[in-house]
Amino acid sequence: MVGDYPASLITDQTLVDETTITPSIFDSSGGSFNVGQWDGLFSNSTTVDLNTAFPRAATSGRVGYAVSYVVNTVPQQIQAQVQIVTNNAIRVYVDGALVAQNDQRGGTSAFITLKPAGAGSKPVKVLIKLLQRANDPQFSFTAQFRDQLGNLLTDVSRELVFTLGPNGGV
* CATH number where 51 lies: 2.60.120
The DSSP-derived string for the chain is -EEEEE-SSTT---SS-TTT----TT-B--SSGGGGB------SSSSEEHHHHS-S--TTEEEEEEEEEEEE-SSS-EEEEEEEEESSEEEEEETTEEEEEESSSS-EEEEEEEPPSSTT--PEEEEEEEEEETT-S--EEEEEEE-TT-PBP-TTT--EEEESSTT---
Report, as an integer, the average pLDDT of 65-76. Answer: 93
**Position 34 pLDDT exceeds 90:** no
pTM of the model: 0.91
**pLDDT band for position 141 (cuts 50, 70, 90):** very high
Number of CB atoms found within 10 A of residue 100's CB: 17
Instruction: Specify if 79 maps to a domain.
Output: yes
The total of structural domains in the chain comes to 1
Dihedral angle over CA of 16, 18, 22, 28, nearest 10: 10
Instruction: Specify if 141 maps to a domain.
Output: yes
Instruction: Specify if 140 maps to a domain.
Output: yes
Instruction: Specify if 168 maps to a domain.
Output: no
Please say whether the beta carbons of 1 and 66 come within 8 A: yes
pLDDT digits 0-9 by tens, 100-130: 999 988 899 999 999 999 877 899 999 999 9
Instruction: Specify if 170 maps to a domain.
Output: no
Mean pLDDT of the chain: 89
Instruction: Specify if 80 maps to a domain.
Output: yes
- Owning domain of residue 42: 2-163
Please tell me the predicted confidence (pLDDT) of residue 167: 82
Instruction: Specify if 20 maps to a domain.
Output: yes
Report, as an integer, the average pLDDT of 11-34. Answer: 85
Instruction: Specify if 169 maps to a domain.
Output: no
Report, as an integer, the average pLDDT of 16-45. Answer: 81
